[in-house]
Amino acid sequence: MTPGRFISLEGGEGAGKSTQIRALADALRARGIDVVVTREPGGSDGAEAIRALLLTGNADRWSARAEALLFAAARADHIEKTIAPALARGAWILSDRFLDSSRAYQGQGELTDVDILTLHRIGSNGFLPDRTLVLTLPDTEAARRAKARDGDSPDRIGGRSDEFHRAVTGAFERILREEPGRCVAVDACGDAESVTARLVAALADILP
């Protein structure tokens, strides 16, 4: 049995993760690979219940610490109920967001990157993807795409300030610099087919 792989797609608002994860899954299935597409927060019954708590309500519904704990709890259930069983049968798992989104979004201000990583070590034994593909896009284009997608009704995290989202972009850039063995930047500019081809190319060394 060929080994399973766990791939996460990351990036800020408007980077095109949801579109690209479906296209990447199709490209891998065309190669005969068993693919499971999932997301965070969510991806299991328990995690989806927590997702509803996280993404609805007022911006101040949760404190920074409570929000980080909820994300960590959702991730622990996601790994146990969905990711680990799929890997055990040799599937490839593609996740729309994972730990690095918590580092970029929840690791702002009150909580540090070390805090987020500590929660992940406690909740999920430090489990990491085999590869993390970070879709990159200029802030102005990302904001335009997010506006076109969400209109005037973004969720409670997507609706945060431009300053917050610029800080998120900076956090992803830092993660890319610090973890080049796991994380790969993928240019999200241009037509969707070209971006998908770049994603496949970023996995070429581990494709069967």
The span from the CA of 105 to the CA of 152, in Å, is 21
Q: Which domains are seen in the chain, by residue range?
A: 5-206 (3.40.50.300)
The span from the CA of 178 to the CA of 165, in Å, is 20
Cβ burial 142-161 (10 Å sphere, 16+ → b, else e): bbebbeeeeeeeeebbeebe
Please give the pLDDT value at position 53. 92
Please give the pLDDT value at position 146. 66
Phi, psi of 147 (to 5 degrees): -65, -45
Please give the pLDDT value at position 152. 66
- Asked if the peptide bond before residue 41 counts as cis, ω within 30 degrees of 0, the response is yes
* Position 93, amino acid: I
Please give the pLDDT value at position 98. 98
3-state class (DSSP) for residue 18: helix
Please give the pLDDT value at position 9. 98
Please give the pLDDT value at position 164. 83
Please give the pLDDT value at position 3. 82
Chain centroid to Cα 32, Å, comes to 24
Please give the pLDDT value at position 59. 77
What tens-digit pLDDT sequence spans the chain (208 residues)?
Answer: 678 999 999 998 878 898 999 999 999 999 999 999 999 999 999 999 999 999 888 878 899 899 999 999 999 999 999 999 999 999 999 999 999 999 998 888 789 999 999 999 999 999 999 999 999 988 777 667 667 676 766 655 556 677 888 888 999 999 999 999 999 999 999 999 999 999 999 999 999 8
